[in-house]
Each structure stands twice: as structure tokens, then as C-alpha cells.
């Protein structure tokens, strides 16, 4: 995001915050991707009734899934197990550490782990914060990859977020300086 780098270089913190608020205001809609087609809307919103503001950022494919995407892999289908312990070990092997704080943080990115009925032995999905202003991206099984508000994916087919993982990213959420 070059504009964020410009803000980082030239603007003091309070101006950066204002600048970022303006950008977030601009990005009330997903900052990346294509608007879903009516058939995509019907199909996907059926499984995620809280999904309102979202876009399609990648085509449907069986080459990779949500967990692979959450660690930046787009040519493998990865499922480390069904328990939180399995996912903790998997994300640790990719440099992500467990955090109790799922909110966005200055210079950090988050991955969210979902489970049915908040059951830690029934994990279902992982989404990754890929853009400031609380935008996550999710690969939906072998269906499309989408950009969405994390909270809007909750309460549907994947259940709710039960845990988050964090990693440093010098370009993330610079407005929270």
C-alpha cells in the first residue's frame, strides 16, 4: 500500500490517523476484488447470513483452501487437524503466535480461527487480515476467495472466531501509532 508508506514517511501520528480514517471512510466497501455476481451472492450468503459487504478476490479452485491461504500459500490444500492444539502448532510453524487480542494492532496482522459452536475440537476455518480497516480475506473451501469484515463471516457455516494469531508487519495498521 504505497499511500500508507507515504503517510508513514511524511506525516506525524495525528495526521496519519486522520489520513487513515479518511481512507477507511473511502473503503467502506472492500478495497480489493470484484463485486459478487447475483448467483455468488445467493450461494455464499445462504451459508453466511451476516455477510453484507464483500468482494471476490480469487476464483473458485480446489488447488488451495482457507488454511493454506491464511499462511500465504495458494497451491496446496492444508488441514493440520481438528483441534485448536493442531492449529496452534501449525501456525507456530509459520511464525504466527497465539494472541488473546483479535482487534487490529499497530504494525501487526492477525489470522482468525473459527469453530462450530465455539468447540475447540471442531475447527472449521481460518481467515487472514490482509488490509487495514478490518478487512480479512477467506478462501471458502474449494469455492471463491473473498474479502470481508471478519465479524460478518461469524454466525454462519463456520461458526465463530475462537482464537487469533499474530505476526509483525511493518506496513499494517499504521494509523494506530
- To another protein, the closest distance from the beta carbon of 154 in angstroms equals 15
Nearest to 80 by CA among 94, 90, 70: 90
Question: Taking a C-beta distance cutoff of 8 angstroms, is the pair 145, 152 a contact?
Answer: no
Grid coordinates standing for 159?
A: 461458526
Of 3-11, 72-80, 129-137, 163-171, which part binds another protein (CB under 8 A)? Answer: 72-80
Q: Is 130 helix (H, G, I), strand (E, B) or coil?
A: strand
In this chain, which of 17, 43, 83, 149 binds another protein, going by CB under 8 A?
43
- To another protein, the closest distance from the beta carbon of 142 in angstroms equals 5
Told to check if 89 binds another protein by CB under 8 A, we report yes
Taken in order 22, 23, 24, 26, the sign of the CA dihedral is: positive
- To another protein, the closest distance from the beta carbon of 78 in angstroms equals 5
The Cα–Cα gap between 112 and 177 comes to 23
Which one-letter DSSP state was computed for residue 176?
G
Told to check if 157 binds another protein by CB under 8 A, we report yes
Question: Taking a C-beta distance cutoff of 8 angstroms, is the pair 77, 65 a contact?
Answer: yes
Told to check if 57 binds another protein by CB under 8 A, we report no
Between residues 78 and 176, which has the closer beta carbon with respect to another protein? Answer: 78
Residue 147's DSSP bridge partners are 55, 137
Place of cell 508487519: 169
- To another protein, the closest distance from the beta carbon of 75 in angstroms equals 8
Between residues 67 and 161, which has the closer beta carbon with respect to another protein? Answer: 67
Grid coordinates standing for 50?
A: 451476516
Told to check if 120 binds another protein by CB under 8 A, we report no
- To another protein, the closest distance from the beta carbon of 10 in angstroms equals 42
Which one-letter DSSP state was computed for residue 83?
S
Told to check if 143 binds another protein by CB under 8 A, we report yes
Interacting residues toward another protein by CB under 8 A: 43-44, 47, 60, 65-68, 73, 75-80, 82, 89-90, 93, 124-125, 139-143, 157
Amino acid at each position: 500500500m504505497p499511500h500508507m508508506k507515504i503517510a508513514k514517511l511524511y506525516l506525524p501520528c495525528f495526521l496519519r490517523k486522520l489520513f487513515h480514517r479518511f481512507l477507511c471512510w473511502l473503503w467502506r466497501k472492500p478495497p480489493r476484488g470484484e463485486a459478487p455476481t447475483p448467483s455468488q451472492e445467493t450461494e455464499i450468503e445462504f451459508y453466511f447470513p451476516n455477510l453484507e459487504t464483500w468482494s471476490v478476490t480469487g476464483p473458485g479452485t480446489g488447488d488451495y483452501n482457507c488454511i493454506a491461504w491464511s499462511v500465504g500459500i495458494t497451491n496446496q490444500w492444508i488441514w493440520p487437524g481438528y483441534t485448536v492444539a493442531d492449529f496452534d502448532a501449525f501456525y507456530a510453524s509459520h511464525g504466527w503466535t497465539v494472541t488473546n487480542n483479535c482487534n487490529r494492532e499497530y504494525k501487526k496482522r492477525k489470522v482468525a480461527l473459527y469453530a462450530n459452536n465455539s468447540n475447540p475440537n471442531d475447527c472449521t476455518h481460518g481467515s487472514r487480515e490482509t488490509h487495514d480497516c478490518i478487512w480479512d480475506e477467506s478462501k471458502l473451501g474449494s469455492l471463491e476467495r473473498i474479502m470481508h469484515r471478519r465479524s460478518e463471516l461469524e454466525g454462519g457455516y463456520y461458526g465463530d472466531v475462537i482464537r487469533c494469531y499474530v505476526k509483525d508487519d511493518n506496513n499494517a495498521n499504521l494509523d494506530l501509532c
